Structure 1
């Protein structure tokens, strides 16, 4: 076994992930005494590690990573994504029929994708503000480094009153 588990232990891992039930997984894996063996298996570090590794594989396969999100947003921005819409058409004499069509996503959705991409690249207003704030803080830190040591006094004031003064 590449992961150090027996065939029966590997089957236990598979069935445990499928059902979430240690006794049932032990029974399906072929253990003669599934009640204690299921709990005992969960306490074994090698089996616990195998379960955790498998769950991580499943999660990684199901959850989009940053690259996948960026590709999706770029496709949306470029109008490459299609959505299904239902169209109802009159056929005359009070009869209508519905059919589905594929259409390019709307301008609002494309603009939203552009904003999301801009935010991730730091191109939006908030990103620019953040860059300016970082530059200001760096300048203040550099100023503090060059100031004489006796000139370094920092005062903080906390005011919990609302801005309107009440």
Structure 2
């Protein structure tokens, strides 16, 4: 990116602050009767536009919570580390207290975390249970085939509906 002049940088910074290009041109030190034309031209210059986009992205990065920060906040709530500031009216005035999250709030935080980090052990147990059920059905099918003495073929199809639902 080419280096902006000091006036262009001031224009871009004022534009980010106000959103008004003409006013930004005036505050940046541009002179003349056609400030709206100068402002419009500045906004079409690639270097200025890139600078504005970069600065807006930096602002968004500082204002918008990232996933890691959200997970850290949920963890802090779940552990009871984060305290809530309360003002309780009393006969003697207002009492200022700090309260740790109650069990319901902590449980909601844990539930939110577990949605993002499912328990692999639970999944493994579910798979093992499903496999045991399939093995049992296959063994029963083999027994039925042996017990049928009239020569009629037996057709049994094992359908794994749990896997079909979750694919």
Normalised by the length of structure 1, the TM-score is: 0.68
Question: Per residue, is there more strand in 1 or in 2?
Answer: 1
Q: Which residue of 2 aligns with 1:69?
A: 70
Q: Which residue of 1 aligns with 2:163?
A: 136
8 Å Cα contact 1:77/1:110 also seen in 2 = yes
Q: RMSD across aligned C-alpha pairs, in angstroms?
A: 2.6
1:4-41 residue CA offsets vs partner (Å, 9 max, x unmatched): 21111110110000110000000011111322111110
Q: Distance in 1 between matches of 2:72 and 2:116?
A: 12
1:74-107 residue CA offsets vs partner (Å, 9 max, x unmatched): 10010001001222333xxxxx522221111111
Point out 4+ residue stretches in structure 1 off by more than 4 angstroms. Answer: none
Q: Which residue of 2 aligns with 1:115?
A: 111
Q: Distance in 2 between matches of 1:122 and 1:48?
A: 43
Q: Distance in 1 between matches of 2:107 and 2:49?
A: 46
Q: Distance in 2 between matches of 1:55 and 1:3?
A: 18
- Between the two proteins, the alignment pairs up a number of residues equal to 127
SS at match of 1:86: strand
Q: Distance in 2 between matches of 1:28 and 1:83?
A: 43
User: How far is 1:3 from its partner?
Assistant: 4.9
Q: Distance in 2 between matches of 1:100 and 1:3?
A: 55
Q: Which residue of 2 aligns with 1:150?
A: none
